[in-house]
Structure 1
Amino acid sequence: MKMQLLEYSMQLAMLKQLYNKGLINDKEYQKMEQRLKKDYGIVSNITA
């Protein structure tokens, strides 16, 4: 589980970089974030 949480955190950090650099818009960010949560079994966003 720890490894999975680490992988999720790394994926989310990369996604946030894309968003902050303007390479993806808000809708794309939210859609990808939801997919990451589903893929990694995350039920709430504890990093917000």
Structure 2
Amino acid sequence: MNTVEMAQLLKYYRFRGFLKSVNERRFIVAVLPKDKAYNMKVLDKMKRLVE
């Protein structure tokens, strides 16, 4: 998945932050401290859909 596709996916799931980079195993996002808990819930939801 390239950077644009990942950014669209994160936007679709209402992830809060800015995507900085993507590789095969991880992505790096700049996130405000107040949004960390919300984003963890979104990531858990995304992980359940993949498995």
Normalized against structure 1, the TM-score is what? 0.41
Higher strand share: 2
Normalized against structure 2, the TM-score is what? 0.40
